[in-house]
């Protein structure tokens, strides 16, 4: 009888252990499902396109951050070209921005009489792997809106291809 009791206790312990392992596996599966769902929703929101892209001149860039529900935030960092700001580094934050699929548009605030509008797409570029320079490119029409002292706005549109900057594959260790 004691032998049966011993085997019964071993069987119950083993069964409870399997149940615990089973719960852990289910939790891991749930986490994996959440990760893949997160990756899928990230892809559908355009968040994989977030990053720093080249702008018009060397040293200038545009930071694009795709957020929830197709909202895009960011800024343009560029050198001033006016009499009062020639060579100064200017940051122009997005007044509005959105992404739908790979279609991207943004408008910057007016800074020192200049604002930018971009309408175009995010496409795969020449970079071979994620994190490579040019893996994604912003391709479209960039319109520069210049306002004079009388608040008269002159617009100049041009076709651009702005490459994503290279990114480190792994975070730096401290």
What is the residue-level pLDDT of the chain in tens, covering all 174 positions?
A: 444 444 444 444 444 444 444 444 444 444 444 444 444 444 557 889 999 999 999 999 999 999 988 999 999 999 998 888 888 899 999 999 999 999 999 999 999 999 999 999 999 999 999 999 999 999 999 999 999 889 999 999 999 999 999 986 444 444
In a domain, residue 169? The reply is: no
In a domain, residue 151? The reply is: yes
Q: Do residues 71 and 150 both lie within one domain? A: yes
Taking alpha carbons only, the member of 93, 80, 76, 95 closest to residue 162 is: 76
The pTM of this model reads: 0.71
Query: What is the rounded end-to-end Cα distance, in angstroms, of the chain?
Result: 61
- Cα–Cα distances (Å) from 84 to 79, 90, 113, 146, 153, in that order, read 12, 12, 11, 15, 18
Query: CA-CA distance, 14 to 4, in Å (whole number)?
Result: 15
Question: Which pair of structure tokens corresponds to residue 7?
Answer: 């085997």
Q: Do residues 22 and 87 both lie within one domain? A: no
Residue with tokens 């929830």: 68
Q: Do residues 102 and 114 both lie within one domain? A: yes
């Amino acid at each position: 009888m004691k032998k049966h009791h011993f085997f019964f206790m071993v069987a119950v312990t083993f069964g409870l252990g399997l149940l615990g392992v089973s719960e852990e596996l289910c939790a891991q599966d749930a986490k994996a499902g959440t990760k893949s769902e997160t990756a899928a929703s990230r892809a559908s929101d355009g968040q994989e396109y977030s990053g720093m892209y080249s702008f018009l001149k060397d040293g200038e860039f545009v930071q694009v951050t795709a957020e929830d529900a197709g909202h895009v935030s960011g800024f343009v960092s560029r050198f001033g070209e006016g009499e009062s700001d020639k060579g100064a580094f200017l940051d122009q934050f997005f007044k509005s921005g959105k992404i739908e699929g790979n279609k991207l548009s943004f408008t910057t605030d007016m800074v020192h009489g200049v604002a930018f509008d971009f309408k175009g797409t995010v496409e795969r570029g020449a970079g071979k792997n994620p994190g490579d320079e040019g893996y994604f490119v912003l391709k479209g029409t960039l319109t520069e809106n210049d306002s004079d002292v009388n608040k008269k706005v002159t617009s100049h549109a041009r076709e651009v291809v702005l490459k994503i900057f290279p990114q480190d594959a792994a975070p730096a260790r401290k």
